[in-house]
Structure 1
């Protein structure tokens, strides 16, 4: 049995993963080629502010795409509700297909950790080809992360004030 085939006990869709990795590699390769042809140069490095902003923005974008109720139509061809718990304003989904590329894409679109690699790559590509626009989007998504945490802090403070929760322990 080759490494790309599944055994009965191993339900991972290795063929789908290979296709997804090939697509990612193609995106990066085409980006490098276009950058080379157009004379674009990679930045020498990212400032601490840029790294933190990109991390926070990537977190927000990956959660919005993979867990947001309003982005469910984007995921719908590849995912289905799983019935599990999720965060406020979020949904829990799982891949619709049991194998192949459909499963791999369903996993990618329902897993914020998996999607982060693609999102960060998109932000880095944006910094090379459209740095001003990318900075605006990064800053906006970073502000949205701050707003999310303020909503959670407010809701927690409200629960404490109403006696539904004590600090460090819920009722």
Structure 2
């Protein structure tokens, strides 16, 4: 694996461990659901898909970019500055750093957790999704307000 990592120039071994952890988590969730007799929803409705999409977007950005969550990323990243309103720019030190500092990478994990939540605790999952969706809408309103104020000056 070291040869591949050196030749490829990326932390391939770290990526492999992350993929294994993801696969293991999904396998464990499926096995637990089967053991408990939990069934997935017959279909994912439009409202659930909306909540899942918007809340996944918001939570992935919060975990990957927010100043307040930087202590979670600090062991795996280096601070490089500010990248936008209330967001940090960080350089990954490892494959784990890439995962934690990349909202696109985290989105798959978060959406998968949301899907599992719909199986194990749908009411609480929808409440959490609604909360993060409200935060995302608030963010968009804050940006719109700031833009309007700037244009009014």
* TM-score, normalised by the number of residues in structure 2: 0.95
User: Where does residue 4 of structure 2 map in the other structure?
Assistant: 5
The 3 A distance-change label for structure 1 pair 3 and 75 is closer
What runs of 5+ residues in structure 1 fail to find an aligned partner? 97-102, 163-171
- Paired residues, number: 153
Alignment counterpart, residue 87 of structure 1, candidates 64, 69, 84: 84
Q: Which structure is larger by alpha-carbon Rg, 1 or 2?
A: 1
Q: In the TM superposition, what whole-angstrom CA distance separates every residue of 1:57-82 from its partner, at most 9, and x where no partner exists?
A: 00000000000000001111111113
Runs of at least 4 residues of structure 1 off by over 2 A? none
The 2-side partners of 1:130 and 1:19 are apart by: 28
Q: How much does 1:6 deviate?
A: 2.3
Please report the TM-score for the alignment, with normalisation by the length of structure 1.
Answer: 0.85
CA RMSD of aligned residues (A): 1.5
Question: Does 2:130 match 1:157?
Answer: no
Give the deviation of 1:7 after TM superposition: 3.7
C-alpha change, 1:64 and 1:51, in structure 2 (3 Å) is: same
What are structure 2's unaligned runs of at least 5 residues?
none
CA distance in 1 between counterparts of 2:27 and 2:76 reads 26
